[in-house]
Amino acid sequence: MHPTPPKTRPSLLARAIDWTFAQVSPARALRRAQHRTALSVWNEAANLAGLPGGAHHDAARRDRTVYDWNDLAQSADSANLPELATITARSRRAQSNDWAARSINRAFKRNVIGTGLWPRPVARDDNDKLLRDYNRKALRRFKRWARNPKVVDTEKRKTLNGIIRLAFSEFINTGSGFVVLGTRDVFEGGRLKLKLTLQAFELEQLANDFDIKPRPGNTVRNGLELDKQGAVVAYWVHTEQHPLDGVMPVGDRRSNRTGQLKPQRIEAERVLHLHEQDRPRETLPVTPLSPVLHQLYQRQSYDAAELLAKKIEAFLAIIIRKNSQFGIGQLGFNPVSGESAAPAGGDSQDAGGNRRIDFTPGTAHVLYEGEDITTVKSDRPGANYEPYTKRQIGMAAAGAGTSYAQVARDFTQSYAAQRASMLEDNREFDPLQQLTIDLVLRPIYELFIRLEILNGDLEAPGFFDDPDIAARYLEADWQGPPRPWVDPAKEAAAAKIAMDYRLDDRGSVCAQKGGDVLDKFDDIAEQREYASEKGIDLPEDVNLKPKVSPSEPKPRQNQAQSAHDRVNGNGRLSSTDRITESILQAAVQDSD
């Protein structure tokens, strides 16, 4: 008789698979079998069993090593809108109290907006020739309007550049900047004219969804009225009174029973919304600072703790040690000496009856017998503060889209490192600059030109007759603020070499400096004409052949053997000499 074999315990994987199918009805299990492959079922069971490698992608693991990795699937609005008020409030708080958050904002403003983004009208006629007189007059009138806050701003306080900087600052702080287009009558040139005016508002002025009745078929999300395709058709805004303002107007006819002003419905065509969607069907994005706000907050706490520690290190703390057999140090009691008065030195008692000794520099105190003084020394290491803070600011800057040097204003790096940082920053600033032009500035310019033509201040034959002709009159290029070179001598020499060998042109070089090559030619021609009238010879006109920059590679020997005679210790040309040789050979061929 053979013994009964022991019952084998099913494997963990097998039990997990049995448990998985036991939790669902037969019909549901059938549907799962139809829509999932055998591998996906095995992966799900393996994940439930806590087995490593159950998921094909490590990012999809669900074992105990990632138990705190939250992965709730949500739409963009489900993720953003419920938390938008909290994120916005914390972002504004950081702008008020955290120097790093404030510096990030200012770094973007000075590099993207700077002294202003200005149009360069390039209207052309039917023969594709520039209408220079029209373009110059249009630009002159636009700049005159843009610099007059009494006309530009509804609040009569900001110029056009001030409004754009404010809208872009709101874009960094909250994820959205808003500008409303409007008009007002202005008395100019002896008659009334219709002038463009702008009004800025902030994200918190958007109305609560419960106070809005949208048009039939539309929905409202956080004050934005959307159609079925998700397009914004209107904005519901508290334009006359901020909803978070504690001081409400009295006796306004449009006030409801709670005393708050009703929001106004503004058509989407009148609202310029500066924003950048991160996901499709995203109604309102959060601030670009959202990924780094928590880190900036924690760094503030670290700074406060470090400051307190430094104060403790600088404070002189003293401990008086007493020997119990000589009494407890009360005034007027010293059993050994029999003295009834306090020792010389001026010690006293505080309000709580505790003994107090007042120390001043250069004084000596007599203690009771059995007492001595010990100072408290802080041995806390503080050498890690700078590298830790620098690393934290660098990571926060990178998360926000800029560099450590821009935020900390620390330019102690080498020329190569600074230039690499500048180029990388420009790749981040340029798209935001173009976004600001396309979403805000270009519509403002085009509406301004339309009103100027309508007022008769600009002559544009056929503008209202043919849309193609109108488009030509509205055409303009845009220029951002000039970006200075890190090392002007080196970069000017590099630009000259690139132009000499047709690797670049004057137009792109001028654009990098924030100018236009045609305007440069006009300025040069005017300056030469004026100098000629005054009998002055300009230095660059005495010898029209460009000077050779000291930074450029230049020939010093016979062209045929110059590079061949310069070899290193191994008898080979260095990499620098090979580059110089190729440039010199091309120069010789050009001269021949």
Dihedral of alpha carbons 125, 128, 133, 139, sign:
positive
How many Å apart are CA 232 and CA 8, to the nearest integer?
Answer: 65
On the question of pLDDT at 161 being above 90, the answer is yes
Highest mean pLDDT among 40-54, 68-82, 219-233, 562-576: 219-233
Residue 206 pLDDT greater than 70, yes or no: yes
Q: Is residue 276 scored above 90 in pLDDT? A: yes
Q: What is the pLDDT of residue 561?
A: 47
How would residue 413 be classed by pLDDT, with cut points 50, 70 and 90?
confident
pLDDT of 329: 47
Across the range 265-269, mean pLDDT stands at 94
**pLDDT score of 353 more than 80:** no
pLDDT: is 318 or 521 the higher one?
521
> Which sign does the torsion angle of CA 452, 471, 136, 460 carry?
negative
Residue 474 makes CB contacts below 8 A (sequence gap 6+) with 123, 445, 446, 449, 450
What integer is the mean pLDDT of 237-248? 79
Please give the pLDDT value at position 569: 47
* pLDDT tens per residue across span 501-523: 888 888 777 776 666 777 778 87
DSSP state letter for 315: S
Structure token pair of residue 422: 């500048």
pLDDT at 324: 57
More confident residue, 352 or 447: 447
Most confident residue range from 36-45, 126-135, 210-219: 126-135
Confidence band (pLDDT; 50, 70, 90) for 41?
low
State residue 547's pLDDT score: 54
Say which residues have a Cβ less than 8 Å from residue 215's Cβ, sequence separation at least 6.
225, 233, 234
pLDDT of residue 340: 43
267, 234 Cβ separation under 8 angstroms: yes
Q: Does residue 580 carry a pLDDT above 80? A: no
Which of the two residues, 67 and 271, has the higher pLDDT score?
Answer: 271
| Contact in structure between 447 and 180 (CB atoms under 8 Å) | no
Q: Which residue has the higher pLDDT, 186 or 21?
A: 186
- pLDDT at residue 177 in the model: 96
Sheet hosting strand 264-267, strand order edge to edge:
219-221, 224-226, 232-237, 264-267
Inter-residue contact 20 to 44 (CB < 8 Å): yes
pLDDT of residue 558: 47
- What is the reported pLDDT for 337? 46
Q: What percent of the chain has pLDDT over 70?
A: 67
Judged against a pLDDT cut of 80, whether residue 301 lies above it is answered with yes
Is residue 59's pLDDT more than 90? no
pLDDT of residue 524: 83
pTM of the model as a whole = 0.70
Section 420-446 average pLDDT:
93
Q: What is the mean pLDDT of residues 95-106?
A: 93
More confident residue, 41 or 59: 59
DSSP line for 6-18: PPPPPPHHHHHHH
pLDDT at 310: 77
Read off the pLDDT of residues 449-490 as tens digits, 9 standing for 90 and up. Answer: 999 999 999 999 999 999 999 999 999 999 888 776 666 777
pLDDT of residue 345: 46
Give yes or no for residue 8 having a pLDDT over 60: no
The pLDDT assigned to 331 comes to 45
pLDDT attached to residue 410:
86
pLDDT value of position 473 = 95
Cα–Cα distances in Å, from 60 out to 13, 37, 43, 45, 52?
Answer: 18, 17, 10, 13, 11
- The pLDDT tens digits of the residues spanning 528-567 come to 888 888 888 877 776 655 555 555 555 444 444 444 444 4
Residue 586, token pair as written in the block: 């091309």
SS3 assignment, position 360? coil
Q: What is the mean pLDDT of the chain?
A: 78
How many residues would you count in the chain? 592
Alpha helices of 119-220 — where are they, by DSSP H? 132-146, 149-152, 160-174
pLDDT of residue 182: 95
The predicted pLDDT at position 560 comes to 45
